[in-house]
A and B are shown apart, each in its own frame.
Chain A
């Protein structure tokens, strides 16, 4: 029965509107709508959706809130809305007490009746996509298809708008102004006096076009325009997480951007490679594949967050989605993380559709405090080569480790043996500079036992060179062994065989530690050969000379010496080859009497037969198997991305990464069609690259950026926001025309420079004529050229350029500390400023700590996309020009370049370099007066005057 009723109700609601259009709608309008408006809309209409519920449209209650649909048409008892207004459940009682409390019984009855009628509701919301109606979104100016290219000229578009306001453009700028403007604009550097002369001398109509062509061929072009792009992608050389770790390989992406501009890489390809270069170039030559990998550094340089960045990956993804939206599409896609975009057609589902693509991508990992070392960097040589290189090295490391361990074990074993059965045969103290003889008759030894002579420093006194003699004679046999016999061939080894016996030299502080390092000449004296352990003085050494040798002390001819260190004794051991009786004699002499207090010695019999074998074996192993694996092989790697585990992301309720909702398929933005990715077995970056590169908004955004970077203001004044909160274009037809030209020309940027710079609009004067300044203070209509201050990079590069100190070659990696040494923590984050004479685009930029110079002169924000530089004018900048050491150095170097010229010529030359013109007579007078007045010698006077000119507005501004 119940099923039957629901079916009927369902039928009713399906056909409901026309069915109820008469009485039902009238009832709604009279009885229901006023209640909803008065008591519900405050919290459940338009932007407010408490509990996710909207009651201002039919779709609102159909979709319902966090607890699902709130009205079951025809069934008040099942409808949450009715339950709520009935105040049955205190946790679900609406309207709440503080908003007026329970409705009247009559009102409740009306709503119940309405629901019973099938909830007829004429309030049909237009379909919304984020913050726009679907219709508005689909026809939004920025998203429309581009028109066909037409033969119109840029100037015609500009003049039309000016004439609408009865304005006229100002006259053209003079040639000197023009070449300065164009040279800074395309290279970020001033023109040389020779370049200016050549341009002035060229009377041909295409003289300026030739200048543009020349500048576009300069390698410095890419440095300037690549830096523009780096602003937009918020490039930085550190990760930005709590320790702000260096990114030692990010420079490859930086340089790729610069080179791409120099090579005039088509912009659509430039876009695709940054999103999916690794996939696009898969299977191509190594060089092309590497380019593709490096290009995806765009994604990898996303800011990282927090202590353990893996736990804050959702913030990194937001940074990626935010940047790619602003950067390529002019859309603030990042705003849709917690809710549908409030103003633009981006839904939260769209956000998680893109999110899935990046969650399916493995980003290079820069390391963070709890996970110190970087990983997932992408090798730029084949994996097999990487593996081979690493395997060889790892094998060596393993071998070295094993040997080390084995030796340690042996030494441990030896220590036990040494300690177990020791008999002191003789011992004594040797006074400062004195000698002591020792002898022992008839010592019983067995094969493998050791006779050991040890020399100790006295007290805590440091080393003393000690001459020793030791002779061991077999009783009743022919054989005898003597330390002096070792002098010849001393370097042949330690241990050293000698007529069946073996001699060993070792430090005996803790256990036997062999002296494994051979020194062929002590103090550059080839007669002195030594065995040592490290670089220290503890040693057994010999004088092979027939003469005494005078070094730190006088060393007798043809002698053996032992040299202990502070608290560290040294020993020679004789491993017995025989079972029998020996006689022992010898002598110990302090041969370095220098304020010390002599030495001591001990002759011991280590009566454990196994000891000798172990000792000898250890010594031999140490020498033979001493493996140095060397430094880890350097694998060229990129800070880039690769495919991860492809999977759809789950919706995050209100942007809370711990409240996961339904899975969202990976797809393109719904306003652009919402196509699914073709191959769910891949991340979807490949398709995303195509979607973005091919959409007309991408071309519009880029031509607007090009325009902005030329004129200081875009046709759209908000280059990162082409949505409803951005500015509308001042010249919409021109924007579309440029975008169409851009696409038709194969997305090449250099032809766009030619198009734009060869216009009257670009070449006009920067005069702020009164009428223009009043009517169009922001120069939206382009009635003049916008004067601008040089950017931070241009200021620094110009100083280096005029002083002759600039190194124009590209830079590569920064001198970061080696990764193995990184111990950065949030208590001790990475922090450095690296000096360089390279162009400022190559300065090392940190996320957490701003570069002091770039921060002072409004450099790009390394944490967020910078669509255009600000121009602040603050006294700390003036302090820079008054007192900064770098500024003073460049000024002095510049002035000193012309030291040999006489004053008049010098001034002319300086003006030509700085201002592309001759000094006016008044300026010559002023300079003369300054030089006369300034109380210093000629070099310093000129340095002072150059400082004045370099700090002046003419040098720092472009007309």
Chain B
């Protein structure tokens, strides 16, 4: 106890001296020597965890969550628009409205209209706050995807998951605090889950569905041998530390990481082993027993990770190709929606049944919407649309069964209560207990934050 007290005092004097390398300072501040130690947010949080469902490529809002009868009515009508995707683009001198290709119908107590592309999610609408007035700053996949993840549309910056991990620490040291499950890399590559200038402990750990989901987690030697090696390692590290006066927090911290790593070798495979799940559960996620891929697998893995204390889990449905980017044919939305619809609904219901939805925030979004027009009303596809799209939030202190904001009658612009990506981020951070203007990190002489110099919390979606 005496020893502990001295160490704390030492650490505080270290902190008071400020301006160590940030990574080291964070570690010194965390008494455990672990930058993932638990920290309190700014105000009581309604959400402890986030499951962030990212549909890559740009989901068409007017074909899914944003019902636009006028678009059907005005199909084929020529319009004018100063739209970023048609400027100076040969063949796009004239553009025409293009009707949604799927029927919409009201669902749930709330009666919100959703198209036939999402029949299962439609059944969960009473738990969902649907935002129909999303808009973003760029109509390129790369930039819009980077923006949705980091708040920056050009430069590499820390991902939202890294910010949350930095702000709150982890509840389970045997697992990473920020996990990204993706079958393929999406636009902007690893930057979408990079810690950038935040301490390395907050980088997203990539899990690729399959046999070995985390790098180097499978023991290369039998457990009994590894135990002997780890005991010997502890012995020589302790002797090394003792020979150096036993007062170097860096050496101590490294000693401990081997215990965590040893734990991860079991905790990671355990988290991804669905043997204990019932047939009914697997079936609800549209999973075969033994299956280790598909969005259903990703969703069930997300629930299991959150159950085990992982702070932020992101699921990316596809990669930078073969995704929702339906320039050629909107019908590709059918397969992509089918891939995610039932698993997402199963996840929401599963979380609810286990009482986890109360403090788990589920976010569903994409990087931008798709144009309600094309250069030919009978064109099969739609183009990139940064002016408007739909996203939704559920659980974790979100008011269910509501629709926030609206686009104009054709779904061109977010006209009512527009929500920019920065506002979306501010709202997520608020639910996690943060004032987005105060969750900052000093880097290169400046305080950085997820929302840059923008962002307003969308209070209407808070329960």
Question: Contacts A883-B216, A934-B225; is A826 near B142 (CB within 8 Å)?
Answer: yes
Q: B17, B185, B215, B254: which contacts A777 (Cβ < 8 A)?
A: B17
Known pairs A829-B320, A875-B257, A882-B220; A307 contacts B142 (CB<8 A): yes
With a CB–CB cut-off of 8 A, which chain B residues contact A141? none
Of the candidates A242, A721, A726, A957, the one whose C-beta lies within 8 Å of that of B142 is A242
Nearest-CB residue, chain B, relative to A865: B444
Q: Does A333 contact B (CB under 8 A)?
A: no
- CB of A849 closer than 8 Å to a CB of B: yes
Select B200's contact among A870, A933, A952, beta carbons within 8 Å. Answer: A870
A936 to B228 alpha-carbon distance, docked (Å): 12
A817 to B227, CA, bound (A): 44
Q: Is B189 touching A831 in the complex (CB atoms < 8 A)?
A: yes
By beta carbon, the residue of chain B nearest A885 is: B220
Q: Interface readout for B222-241 with A: 1 if CB under 8 Å, 0 if not?
A: 00111011001101110111
User: A880 and B228: CB pair below 8 A?
Assistant: no
Closest CB in chain A relative to B154 CB, distance in Å = 6
Decide if A884 touches B22 in the complex (CB within 8 Å).
Answer: no
Q: Please, what's the 1-or-0 string for A273-314, where 1 marks a CB less than 8 Å from any CB in chain B?
A: 000000000000000000000000000000001110000100
Q: Are A769 and B220 neighbours in the complex by a CB distance under 8 Å?
A: no
Segment 773-792 of A: residues with Cβ below 8 Å from B: 773-774, 777-778, 780, 787, 789
> Told that A923-B239, A953-B236 touch, could you supply 11 new A-B pairs with CB distance under 8 A?
A242-B141, A774-B10, A777-B20, A778-B14, A861-B156, A871-B250, A934-B228, A944-B229, A953-B237, A953-B255, A954-B236
Contact B140 A872, beta carbon cutoff 8 Å: no
A882–B237 touching, CB < 8 Å? no
CA distance A805 to B73 in the complex (A): 72
Contact B261 A870 (CB under 8 A): no
CB of B248 within 8 A of chain A? yes
Contact with A along B407-424 (1 / 0, CB 8 A): 000000000000000000
* A930 and B228 form a contact (CB under 8 A): yes
List 30 contacting pairs A-B, 8 Å CB cutoff, sorted by A.
A306-B154, A768-B248, A777-B10, A787-B250, A789-B250, A826-B140, A827-B320, A849-B185, A850-B194, A861-B197, A863-B156, A864-B156, A870-B22, A871-B24, A871-B250, A872-B200, A873-B27, A873-B253, A875-B257, A877-B257, A878-B257, A878-B261, A883-B216, A883-B217, A883-B218, A948-B233, A949-B236, A951-B258, A954-B240, A956-B254
- Whether A332 is near chain B, meaning CB under 8 Å from some CB there, is yes
B residues near A768, Cβ cutoff 8 Å = 244-245, 247-248
Contacting B at CB under 8 A, from A750-766, are 766
Question: Inside 8 A of A326's CB, which chain B residues have their CB?
Answer: 444
Among B302-356, those with CB < 8 Å from A are 320-321, 325
B448 within 8 A of A: no
Is A67 part of the contact surface with B, judged by Cβ < 8 Å? no
Whether the Cβ atoms of B244 and A871 lie closer than 8 Å is no
Residue A935 is within 8 A (CB to CB) of chain B in the complex: yes
Contacts of B5 in A (CB 8 A): none
B176 within 8 A of A: yes
Chain B residue with the shortest CB-CB distance to A949: B236
Residue among A780, A850, A868 facing the most chain B CB atoms (10 A cut-off): A850
Shortest beta-carbon distance from A829 to chain B in Å? 7
How far is B17's CA from A864's CA once the two chains are assembled, in angstroms? 26
Q: How distant is A311 from chain B, measured CB to nearest CB, in Å?
A: 11
Q: How many A-B residue pairs have CB under 8 A?
A: 212
* Complex partner residue of B233 from A718, A877, A952, CB under 8 angstroms: A952
Question: Is A873 a contact of B257 with CB atoms below 8 Å?
Answer: yes
Q: A874 near B185 (CB under 8 angstroms)? A: no
Q: How far is the CB of B156 from chain A (nearest CB, A)?
A: 5
A828 to B321, CA, bound (A): 7
Q: A789-B250, A850-B190, A863-B156 are in contact. Are A953 and B240 (CB under 8 A)?
A: yes
- Smallest CB-CB separation from A828: which chain B residue? B321
Contact B225 A306 (CB under 8 A): no
Measured CB to CB, the closest approach of chain B to A614, in angstroms, equals 42
User: A850-B194, A852-B215, A876-B261 given as contacts; is B228 within 8 A of A242 (CB)?
Assistant: no
Q: Which A residue's beta carbon lies closest to that of B219?
A: A883
A951 nearest CB neighbor, chain B only: B233
Asked if B191 CB lies within 8 Å of chain A CBs, one says: yes
Q: Which residues of A contact B253 (CB under 8 A)?
A: 873
Does the CB pair A873–B254 fall under 8 Å?
Answer: yes
With A868-B21, A926-B235 known to touch, is A935 a contact of B225 (CB < 8 Å)?
A: yes
Q: How far, in angstroms, from A875 to B33 measured CA to CA in the complex? A: 12
Q: Which residues in A have some Cβ–Cβ distance to B below 8 Å?
A: 242, 244, 305-307, 312, 315, 326, 332, 343, 717-718, 720-721, 723, 725-727, 766-770, 773-774, 777-778, 780, 787, 789, 826-829, 831, 846, 848-850, 852, 855, 858, 861, 863-864, 868, 870-885, 888, 922-923, 926, 930, 933-936, 944-945, 947-949, 951-954, 956-957, 959
Q: Name the interface residues of B1-59: CB closer than 8 Å to any CB of A.
A: 10, 13-14, 17, 19-24, 27, 33, 35
Q: What B residues does A879 contact at CB under 8 A?
A: 214-217, 261, 264-265
Contacting residue for A778 out of B17, B142, B239, B262, CB 8 A: B17
Q: Are A871 and B189 neighbours in the complex by a CB distance under 8 Å?
A: no
Spell out B's residues near A (CB within 8 Å).
10, 13-14, 17, 19-24, 27, 33, 35, 140-143, 154-156, 173, 176, 185, 187-191, 194, 196-197, 199-201, 203, 205, 214-221, 224-226, 228-229, 232-233, 235-237, 239-241, 244-245, 247-248, 250-251, 253-255, 257-258, 260-262, 264-265, 320-321, 325, 444-446
| Interface of A, helix, strand, loop or mixed by DSSP | loop
Contacting residues, chain A, for B33 (C-beta < 8 A): 873
CB distance from A303 to the nearest CB of B (A): 9
- A874 engages B445 (CB within 8 Å): no
Shortest distance in angstroms between B20's beta carbon and chain A's nearest beta carbon?
5
Tell me how far the C-beta of A843 lies from the nearest C-beta in chain B, rounded to whole angstroms.
16
Q: Is the CB of A936 within 8 A of B225?
A: yes
- When the two chains form the complex, which single residue of B236, B248, B445 contacts A723, counting CB atoms closer than 8 Å? B445
For residue B200, which residues in chain A have a CB less than 8 angstroms away from its CB? 858, 870, 872, 874
Inter-subunit contact A952/B445 (CB<8 Å)? no
For the complex of A and B, 8 pairs with smallest distance between CB atoms: A872-B200, A878-B261, A875-B260, A725-B445, A848-B189, A870-B23, A777-B14, A827-B321
Contacts of A875 in B (CB 8 A): 173, 176, 257-258, 260-261, 264
A718 to B443, CA, bound (A): 11
Contact A848–B220 (Cβ < 8 Å) = no
Interface centre among A343, A774, A956 (most CB of B within 10 A): A774
Bound: A930/B219 CA distance, A: 20
In the assembled complex, how far is the CB of residue A42 from the closest CB belonging to chain B, in whole angstroms?
18
Residues of B within 8 A of A936 (CB): 225
| Given contacts A874-B257, A875-B260, A926 and B14 within 8 Å (CB-CB) | no
A361 to chain B, nearest CB (A): 22
- Chain A residue numbers with a CB within 8 Å of B247 are 768, 770, 773
List chain B residues, Cβ under 8 A from A315.
Answer: 154
Q: Are B215 and A926 in contact (CB under 8 A)?
A: no
Q: Which of A332, A850, A944 contacts B445, CB < 8 Å?
A: A332
Our pick among A242, A766, A827, A926 for the contact of B236 (Cβ within 8 Å) is A926
Please report the C-alpha to C-alpha distance between residue A827 and residue B324 in the assembled complex, in whole angstroms.
Answer: 12
Q: Tell me, in angstroms, the Cα distance from A871 to B257 when the chains sit together.
A: 14
**In this complex, which of B17, B233, B253 has the most chain A Cβ atoms within 10 angstroms of its Cβ?**
B233
Q: Which residue from chain B places its CB closest to the CB of A720 in the assembled complex?
A: B444
Identity of the chain B residue whose Cβ is nearest the Cβ of A787 in the assembled complex: B248
Contact among B143, B199, B237, B261 with A872 in the assembled complex (CB-CB below 8 Å): B199
Minimum CB–CB distance from A631 to chain B (whole Å) comes to 30
CB distance from A765 to the nearest CB of B (A): 10
